[in-house]
Amino acid sequence: MLRGLEDASLLGRDAHGRYSMHDLIRRYATDTAHHQLPDDLRHAALHRVVDFYLHTAHTADRLLNPHRATIHLDPEAPGCHQHPLHDDAAALAWLDAEYTCLLASHHVASTHRWDKAVWQLAWALHTFHQRRGHLRNYLATWQAALVATDRLNDPIARIHSQWHLGVAYAEMGRHDEATDHLNRALALAEHIEDRPKQVHTYNALAWASGKSGDDRRALRYAAHALTICRTLDDPLQEATALNAMGWSSARLGDYEQAREHCQAALALQRLHHHLDGEGATLDSLGYIAYHAGCHQEAVQHYLHALALFRAVGDTYATADSLDRLGHPHVALGELEQARAVWREALKLYQSQQRQDADRVQQQLDVFGDSAQD
C-alpha cells in the first residue's frame, strides 16, 4: 500500500526508508479529519498514536537501561501495537529515528491533558535524553510533566517530576532551581517513607552539589545516601553513592580515600554488569590518577571509560571524558593526542549546545589548534 501511495506521489520516502506525506496531502488529511471525523474517533486515533510512542519508548528505555527502576504503564489502547525492538542497538536507532515524533506525541498528550502519558513519556525518554545530550528537551518535557503531575493524585509521579527537573536544571547550571526541585522530591519521598527514592534523591543532590562546586556538601549527601543504601538491597545505588564520595573526595584533594571509594563502586558495577555506572567510575578514577600524578594510569582509565560510553551510545558522557583525557596527554607531552581528543570533545559539545565548548576551544587555542579544520 505504501509503495502504491509513493508511486502516486502521495507519499515521499527519505534515504532511510521513512515515509512522509507531501505538504498538500498532509493539509488535506488534517482538514478532513477535523471536519469529517467525530471528536471521539479523532481522540481515539490520537490515543493510539500516543500509546504507540509511549509503550515503544518504554520498551526502548528498558533495553537501554535495564538496571533502572521501572514504572507501570496502563495497557495499550485497543488497536495499538508497539514497534518490536530486539536489543539496545535497535532501541537506540528507533529513538534516534522517531525523536521528532516522540516530542510531537508528548506535546499532543500535554495539550489534551492526558496527564499520565505526559509524565510517563518524559520518563521513558530520560535515558535517551541523557545519553544524547538533549538537555533542553529533557527540561521541557519535565516542565510539562510537573504541570501534569500536579493535577494527579500520585505522589510517586510528583517525585519523578521534581527529581528530573532538579537534574535537568543542574545540568544546565541553574543550581538554585536544581536544589529547590530536588529538595521538594526528597520531602515527598520522606513524607511517603519511600527509602529507595530518598537514596536516589540524595545521590542526585550529591551530584548537583558537585556541579555547583560545593564538594563538601556533595560528600555529605553521598555519605547520607550510602548510609540509607546499606539498609536496602540496592547495590547499584550504593555504587553510585560510593562513586560520588570518591569524586567529591578527589575534588577535595583526598586521593587515597577517593580511590578506595571508587574501587568499591567499580567492583559492585562490574558484578552487576552496569556499564553506565562502570564508565562513570572509571572516569572518576581517571580524574583521581591524573591529579595524583599517575598520568599514564589516568589515560588508561579514561580510554576504558570511553569504550563503555561509546558501547551504550552515551555521547554526553563521551564528551566529558574526552575533555578530561586531554589533560594527562598534555602532562605526558602527547600534545597531538590531546588536540585530537579535544577536537572530538568540542564537536560533541557544540552539537549538544553546551557551554563547555568555549572552554575546550580555549584549551585548543593555547596549544596552537584552532579546531576549524
Contact 206, 218 (CB under 8 A): yes
Residue 15: its pLDDT value, please? 61
What is the enclosing helix (H) or strand (E) of 146?
helix 135-150
In angstroms, the CA 293 to CA 284 distance is: 14
Residue 10: its pLDDT value, please? 67
* Assigned CATH for 153-273: 1.25.40.10
Q: What is the per-residue pLDDT across 288-342, written as a single tens digit (0 to 9) for each?
A: 999 999 999 999 999 999 999 999 999 999 999 999 999 999 999 999 999 999 9
Q: Which of 202, 341, 235 is nearest to 210 (CA)?
A: 202
Domain ranges for the chain? 1-36, 41-142, 153-273
Residue 66 φ then ψ, to 5°: -65, -20
* pTM passes above 0.95: no
pLDDT band with cut points at 50, 70 and 90 for residue 40: confident
Four-CA torsion 21, 25, 30, 31, nearest 10 degrees = 180
Contact 172, 212 (CB under 8 A): no
Lookup: cell for 277: 555506572
Q: What is the per-residue pLDDT across 329-362, written as a single tens digit (0 to 9) for each?
A: 999 999 999 999 999 999 999 999 999 999 999 9
pLDDT band with cut points at 50, 70 and 90 for residue 373: very low
Q: Is 141 exposed, middle or buried (0-12, 13-18, 19+ CB in 10 A)?
A: buried
Give the mean pLDDT of 138-158. 97
CA 246: distance to chain centroid? 22
Helix spans in 193-314 (H): 195-212, 215-229, 235-251, 255-271, 275-291, 295-311
Residue 18: its pLDDT value, please? 66
Secondary structure of residue 139 in the 3-state scheme: helix
Q: Is 79 exposed, middle or buried (0-12, 13-18, 19+ CB in 10 A)?
A: exposed
Give the mean pLDDT of 219-228. 98
Residue 372: its pLDDT value, please? 44
